[in-house]
Structure 1
Amino acid sequence: MKYQFDFTDKIVLITGASRGIGRAIAEGFSSLGAISLLVGRNVEKLNETEAAILEQGGKCIKIQADINVVSQVDTMINNIKRDFNRVDILINNAGVGHRIPSIDVTEEQWKTVLDTNLNTPFFLSTKIAKEFMIPQKCGKIVNTASMGGFSGIPMSAAYSSSKGGILQMTRSLAAEWAKYNIQVNCICPHYTKTDLIQEAMSNEDWIRLVASRTPIGRLAEPEETVGAALFLASHMASYITGTYIQIDGGCYGGGF
């Protein structure tokens, strides 16, 4: 066994790849030889991710799609089957959230968060597993959960619920698909400097509060999530499934 990360010509499907954590993970895989399939809705942001990867000498393909729309997902899978006939690694990273008092959350807002953060990753995982990973008898799925999946975050009930669901979904799929040599795991980032918390980051008092409760003393950068994702997707994690890696700066998931 080579004790190093090598994803040469591996087909890696990454949702939410146009920005933030998804973009950082895509750049990480491409820098190590993978062909990153970049999934996102915003074509301009996808172009930026593509340009960054190509500039570094990596390989990638843009896929403009809304993964909450079944027909677009089915088209994406058919195109991948035509062009590659395999998916080696799936990164379920796309996510949304909002900070709204729970008594003011509408059914539509709740549904949007649960659909994007939990329902779609489940159905995308099952489709990718059925179409590619089970027939090829191998595969890696890495889900982006959150420290919010462990502890409740005020005014983010939908987000925390969806991320707690991702953790349980991961455990269930890992147990069910282990016989096919498919490993399913999670990364659980702490507050990370992405568009998802852009509004909160404009509040200096909030930033100081988070820093004071985090032993490392600051928010995470998107690039600091990449190593955990690469490890869980690598052959070095072949006996690890149904678990998670906390990327929390030592704060142990305390909700603020």
Structure 2
Amino acid sequence: MGGEGNMEKLLDGKTILITGATHGIGYVTAKLFRDLGANVIGIGRREISISGVKIVKVDLTKRSEVLNFIEWYKKEIGIIHVLINNASVNSRYSIFNITLDEWDKMIELELTSPMLLSKMASEIMIQKGIKGKIINISAIQSKSPLRESLAYATVKGGLISMSRSLAVDLGKYGIQVITVVPGPIYTKSDEVPEDLDKRAATLLGRMGRPIEVAYLLAFLASDYNTFITGTEIVIDGGRLISRKPDPEEITRGEV
């Protein structure tokens, strides 16, 4: 996309809740949305300061903290135009070595919490007459899993099904529900190692950047998006149809 100057007021006046807003795609998206005029509330595991963004520390793997946040949000904020369920952690276990604790943590973080927040958001939207958006962030592992990624691939696939079901239930209220499916996006630092970029298994010959996903999310959250619901949008540089092997760093779960 072009420069942000052309998009300045794209999200003006919208109240947007983003989970996982203190790292990676969520962090970059929160800052971009702020610059585009949105009132951004971010959920994160860390207490960090992002100018112009309200960050609330919540452990989304703990149901009690999620329910407490929902009560706070209803009382203190009380309005929402867009919910982005983005919070995620990698999980590299196979069926042979995964523990129940790891399984439960992934289900709470990436299915139960998005469900509870989607319920809150849809109730507020319907009450306020807002034709809003719920956007769930999956991953291409939902379609093409890496080795030893049982829980991660499972919950990312579950998010796709959750989005479709929500879209069916919420369409009559004008609420759109969309899944974004990122491919290899480099989030470890601002600069992608040149060697890793060159070995990326994408058709475009490089890793993706968080800002590229953030620009897509900005469009989906905006009033320009009026007729997309119940579907998935893949942003992977062509990784899913590439026949190139992934770099070993990705296969091992280090990136």
Give TM-score scaled by structure 1 length. Answer: 0.83
- In the TM superposition, what are the counterparts of 1:60-71 in structure 2 within 5 Å? 60-71=53-64
CA offset digits 1:180-209 (Å, max 9, x no partner): 1111101111121125xx9xx99x7xx479
2:216: which partner in 1? 228
Q: Of the candidates 5, 8, 11, which is equivalent to residue 12 of structure 2?
A: 8
2-structure distance, mates of 1:26, 1:237: 19
- Tell me the alpha carbon deviations over residues 90-132 of structure 1, each in whole angstroms, 9 at most, x when there is no partner: 01000112223431111211221222112211122112212x1
Assess if the C-alpha contact under 8 Å between 2:164 and 2:231 holds in 1.
yes
Task: Call closer, same or farther: CA 1:92–1:210 in 2, change over 3 Å.
Answer: farther
Runs of 4+ in 1 over 6 A off after TM superposition: none
In 1, distance between residues paired with 2:176 and 2:151? 27
* Distance in 1 separating the partners of 2:108 and 2:78: 27
Deviation at 1:253, TM superposition (A): 6.0
Residue pair 1:90, 1:125 contacting (<8 A) in 2 also: yes
- 1:134 equivalent to 2:129? Answer no
For 1:217, the equivalent position in structure 2 comes to 205
Matching residue's letter, 2:224: M
Cα distance in 1, alignment partners of residues 30 and 64 from structure 2:
24
* 2:97 alignment counterpart: 104
Report if aligned partners of 2:28, 2:214 keep a CA contact under 8 Å in 1: yes
**Aligned-partner Cα distance in 2 for 1:32–1:111:** 37
C-alpha distance in structure 2 between counterparts of 1:153 and 1:252, whole Å: 12
How big is the shift at 1:210? 5.7
Alignment of 1:1-256 (within 5 A): 6-43=10-47, 46-47=48-49, 50=50, 54=51, 59-130=52-123, 132-137=124-129, 138-195=131-188, 207=196, 211=200, 213-252=201-240
**Which whole-Å CA distance do the structure 2 matches of 1:135 and 1:68 have between them?**
28
* Aligned-residue offset at 1:160: 0.7
Report the TM-score, using the length of structure 2 for normalisation: 0.83
Residue-pair matches, total: 234
Equivalent residue of 1:104, what SS? coil
For 1:175, the aligned partner's letter is: V
Q: Which has the higher helix share?
A: 1
For the Cα contact (< 8 Å) 2:144–2:240, is it kept in 1?
no
| Cα distance change on mapping 1:76 and 1:32 into 2, 3 Å | same
Q: Is the 8 A contact 2:180 2:235 kept in 1?
A: yes
RMSD over equivalenced CA pairs, Å:
2.3
Contact 1:151 1:253 in 2 (8 A): no
Task: Assess if the C-alpha contact under 8 Å between 1:114 and 1:159 holds in 2.
Answer: no
CA contact 1:228–1:245 (8 Å) conserved in 2: no
Distance in 1 of aligned mates of 2:241 and 2:74:
39
Q: Secondary structure at the match of 1:188?
A: strand
- Identity across matched positions, percent: 33
